[in-house]
Amino acid sequence: MTLVIDTTFVVGLMGARDTHHCAARDWFTNIDEDLVTSPLAVAEMDHLVRARGGESARDALWTNFESGAFTVRWWADALGETLRIARRHPFLGLTDASLVAVAARVGTNRIATFDTHFRSITTAAGDSFKILPADA
């Protein structure tokens, strides 16, 4: 199955001092999923992982992308779709709206995140998001 990954999950996973690190690490080591994100989230991940975890954490993130552990999904009208979602849900920024768009594109309602606001929106198909690892 495919699972969308949010910045908060990756920051928790990569940052040993993050409050979500143990939950992210323990859950991550036990999954066998296709993990996908958006280019907007990649930029946010790169910035926050380095700011909070330093160069070694950033290098680990880059290694995960290079190895294919995390993949990036984008398409021709992705920005337009992201903007439409953000306008429907003004409390979402473009990065989180892009993850909702990616979820629709790959046909999933599953997202690895520690952001609770994903509980208050639905997928394009009208399904609630399953928040992981909390709903695991």
Tell me: the pLDDT tens digits for 35-84? 999 999 999 999 999 998 889 999 999 999 999 999 999 999 999 999 99
Residue position matching structure tokens 């995390």: 70
Kindly tell me if the per-residue pLDDT of 4 is higher than 90.
Answer: yes
- In sequence order, the 6+-apart residues with CB closer than 8 A to the CB of 61 are 10, 14, 45, 46, 49
Q: How many whole angstroms separate alpha carbon 26 and alpha carbon 21?
A: 8
Instruction: Enter the CATH code of domain 2-132.
Output: 3.40.50.1010
Residue 53's pLDDT is what? 87
- Determine which of 77-86, 107-116, 121-130 has the lowest per-residue pLDDT on average: 121-130
Does the pLDDT of residue 3 top 80, yes or no?
A: yes
